[in-house]
Amino acid sequence: LLPLPSFSQCHGHSGSHASTGGSALLGYIGIDTIIEQMRKKTMKTGFDFNIMVVGQSHGLGKSTLVNTLFKSQVSRRSAGWSRDEKIPKTVEIKSVSHVIEEGGVKMKLTVVDTPGFGDQINNDNCWEPISKYINEQYEKFLKEEVNITRKKRIPDTRVHCCLYFISPTGHSLRQLDLEFMKRLSHSVNIIPVIAKADTMTIEERQEFKQRVRKELEMSGIEFYPQKEFDDDMEDKSDNDKIRETMPFAVVGSDKEYQVNGKRVLGRKTAWGIVEVENSNHCEFAQLRDFLIRSHLQDLKEVTHNIHYETYRAKRLNENGGLHPISSNDTQESNL
């Protein structure tokens, strides 16, 4: 029999092994099954994902886009809201939750809508109710966390991602857009999108995107994925590509049309069909892949490890240390 590797070799303590991250194994142990174990656990418990949509209420297609992303009627507008509904006097926060299941994986999706945002004559401070809502969810989570008897699984209502809809004006960003993103980029993951991108030509779209990126940079606004959270070179190169594409110019539609014998989601115009999932027509597919297929877990982690941590540290400092927060503690100080 071959002698077993010494303890120091197993743990990569010797110089040569440390650099290669440990010694060669003499046989199969089964460490790799951790991935399958995690998958099974997630499939049993499911997970939460909370997405907020912000932008002028009417005509930007916010709800349609969210419905298109999740291929189901998840946003409230479609649940029979009337077109002639009055614009709210102030920003309201409306959330609706659904459980979506695919391939045995359950996701509890909450869509948080913000009707009334940017629709008033005077839009000063209209970001405040949104900021307050985001912080209230952190507070709720924190209260559960510092309880003496904690729930095994704390319900997660924290906003993992805020889709910020920019009007396809082709000009500059509005002061309100800059103000909102500046105020909230440190407490939530903001993903800017240009709505109804089919109202611009491809050239206009490219120019507008470049202008938006430049304006955000000049205002010192960092959107998700932030450069400082790239873990390694691979992350950095993937995220750099995404950052160069943003803000995604998107078109949403929950109507299907027949194109070349295939059924596609699209918008019918006088000159043809704008196909939502065709990357030659718009960047909806890139947005969906980024949001759901490549960065969903990261959005949740950045929310927990960065934005929530920042809130938590601030709260516990104010609170004079780590002790259970009494329910009548006021939150006014941090909102």
User: Mind giving me the DSSP string for 79-133?
Assistant: TT--TTPPPPSS---EEEEEEEEETTEEEEEEEEE-TTTT-SS--TTTTHHHHHH
Confidence (pLDDT) at 176:
92
Looking at the chain, the whole-number percentage of residues with pLDDT higher than 90 is 49
The answer to whether residues 91 and 116 touch, using CB atoms and an 8 Å cutoff, is: yes
Looking at the chain, the whole-number percentage of residues with pLDDT higher than 70 is 84
For residues 286 and 274, give the distance between their C-alpha atoms in angstroms, rounded to a whole number. 16
Rounded to an integer, the average pLDDT of 282-289 is 91
DSSP 47: E
Domain boundaries, the chain: 45-77+88-254+280-316
CATH number for the domain whose boundaries are 45-77+88-254+280-316: 3.40.50.300
Confidence (pLDDT) at 299:
97
Give the tokens for residue 141.
């989570």
For residues 132 and 155, give the distance between their C-alpha atoms in angstroms, rounded to a whole number. 19
Confidence (pLDDT) at 123:
85
Confidence (pLDDT) at 178:
95
pLDDT class for 16, splitting at 50, 70, 90? Answer: very low
DSSP 303: I
Mean pLDDT lowest for which of 27-31, 188-192, 279-283? 279-283
Q: Does 85 score more than 80 pLDDT?
A: no
Q: Does 295 score more than 70 pLDDT?
A: yes
Query: What's the chain's average pLDDT?
Result: 84
For residues 297 and 105, give the distance between their C-alpha atoms in angstroms, rounded to a whole number. 14
Rounded to an integer, the average pLDDT of 174-185 is 94
For residues 308 and 301, give the distance between their C-alpha atoms in angstroms, rounded to a whole number. 10
Rounded to an integer, the average pLDDT of 165-173 is 90
The neighbour count for residue 193, using CB atoms within 10 Å, is 24
